[in-house]
Amino acid sequence: MIQYPSGKKVNSKQKSLGITSRRGMSLEEDINKTNEAYLFKDRAVVHKKPTPIQIVNVDYPSRNKAKITEAYFRHASTTDYQGVYQGYALDFEAKETKNKTLFPLASLHEHQLNHIKAVKRHGAIAFLIIRFNALDETYLIFAEDLIKHINQDDVRSLSIQWIRSVGYEVSGTYQVPCDYIMIIDDYIKRSSYDK
Amino acid sequence: MIQYPSGKKVNSKQKSLGITSRRGMSLEEDINKTNEAYLFKDRAVVHKKPTPIQIVNVDYPSRNKAKITEAYFRHASTTDYQGVYQGYALDFEAKETKNKTLFPLASLHEHQLNHIKAVKRHGAIAFLIIRFNALDETYLIFAEDLIKHINQDDVRSLSIQWIRSVGYEVSGTYQVPCDYIMIIDDYIKRSSYDK
C-alpha cells in the first residue's frame, strides 16, 4: 500500500476500504470529481496541484522513457487547489479530520497559511474546505474569517462550534459531490453589495 | 545527469554548462527568481506547479520516511504557472526555443492550449512567455492574440515577425530577470480604459 507522508492512504485503497465519507470517497476525490464537473459544464476552471516531489535519480531503460528510481515527497508550500471563476482567482486547501469536536490547525502548514494570507491580500477568493468524517459534515471557511480568528484569539484549533457558526456547509450531489461554487456565488454577490 | 522527458536538462546542470540565456540561466530559473522577488516585495503571488508524476511504488526504509522507488513523468494538463495579481488570476506557460525564426506550436500540448482558452474565458489574464535563446529575446504573448492567430490563420508555428509585432518584449534586471508584471500592469490599465 502506498502511503503519503501525511499518513493519508492513496485514493484507490481508501475507496476499496470504504473508510471515509458517506459515499466511500475521500474529500480529495469528491473535490476532484466536482472540479471535473465544473470544467465539463464550463462553470469554473479549478485544478489540484500535483504533489511536490524531489527527484534524486532517473533511469533510462529505453530511449524515450524516463523512470524515476529515487524520489521523496516534499511539503507543499502553497495550497492544493487553484483556479478561476467569474474573473476571480480561487485558492483553497482541503482537509479531512476524524476528530468530532475540532480541527487541529497543526495540520495546516505554516507555509500554507502564509500562502492563504498572501493570495487573499492580492485579491484571490481564498478558503479552506474542512470535512469532519465522523460527523459527515463539510464546511467552507473563508480566509478572512480564519485569519481574523487566528490573530484575535490565538487558537491552535478550530472548534466545531466556531466552524458551524462562521463556515458554510457544503452540500453536493452524486455528480457534484462537493458543490462549493454555490457558496462562492453568494460570496461574490455579497461582496458586490458591500462595494 | 537527470533529463526530463521534454529533453530539458535539470537546472543546476544547465547552469553549470552555461548553455542557455545571457545569464547562463534557463527561462524557468529566471521566472522562478522573478516570482521569488515579486513574493518578497509582496507585489504578486505566482508559483510554478510541480511536475506531475505518476507514483508506482514507495518503500519505507524507516518509520517516517517514504522513498519513491518507481515513478514516471506525466504530461501537464494545465500551464506551469499560476498566481494572483491585483485581484486578477494569472495563468501562463513558459517555453524556450533554439530556433531563430519561429516557435513551433507542437511544443505546446493540446491540453495546455485548451487550458489557456478556458482560463481566459473565465477571466484570468493568460499568456505565454517565449524565449528565443539564440536571439536572446524573450516575449510575452497574450492568450487572446495567440488564440485569434491560431483560429484565423491555422498556423503550426509562430513566426518571429508575428511575435515581435504582437508580443511584448520582456526585460529584466539581475534581481528580477524576467519582469513580466510591468507588461501586465499596462495590460490592466488598457483593459480599464476599454471598459
Instruction: Give ipTM to 2 decimals.
Output: 0.82
Of B45, B49, B51, the CB nearest to A119: B45
Q: Report the gap between the CA of B48 and the closest CA in chain A (Å).
A: 10
Tell me the chain A residues in contact with residue B64 when contact means C-beta distances shorter than 8 Å. 5
User: Is A70–B69 a contact, with Cβ atoms under 8 angstroms apart?
Assistant: yes
Share of chain B above pLDDT 70, in %: 86
Q: What is the pLDDT of residue B195?
A: 46
How many angstroms separate the CA of residue A63 from the nearest CA in chain B?
Answer: 10
Residue B119 lies in a domain: yes
- Per the structure, the complete domain to which residue A189 belongs is given by 11-50+76-194
Question: ∠A47-A50-A53 over CA atoms, to 5°?
Answer: 165
pLDDT for residue B75: 83
Residue B71 resides in a domain: no
Residues 6+ away with beta carbon under 8 Å from B131: B21, B27, B94, B95, B96, B97, B137, B138, B139
pLDDT, tens digit, for every residue of A23-57?
568 999 999 999 999 999 999 999 999 888 999 99
Q: Is residue A58 part of a domain?
A: no
Residues of chain B with pLDDT under 70: 1-24, 193-195
- Out of A42, A50, A85, the one facing B53 most closely (by C-beta) is A50
In a domain, A4, yes or no: no
Work out the average pLDDT over A179-193.
91
Q: What is the pLDDT of residue A192?
A: 76
**CATH number, residue A111:** 3.40.1350.10
**What is the C-alpha to C-alpha distance for residues A107 and A158, in angstroms, rounded to an integer?**
11
pLDDT given for residue B3 in this prediction: 45
Residue B66 lies in a domain: no
pLDDT of residue A63: 72
- How many structural domains comprise chain B? 1
| d(C-alpha B84, C-alpha B89), whole Å | 5
Distance from CA of B1 to the nearest CA of A (A): 8
pLDDT, one tens digit per residue, over B96-143 is 999 999 999 998 988 999 999 999 999 999 999 999 999 999 999 999
Among the listed residues B96, B174, B165, the one whose alpha carbon sits nearest the alpha carbon of residue B133 = B96
The pLDDT mean for chain B works out to 87
Cell of B39: 513574493
Are A70 and B69 in contact, with CB atoms under 8 Å apart?
Answer: yes
A9-19 average pLDDT score: 40
Length of chain A, please?
195
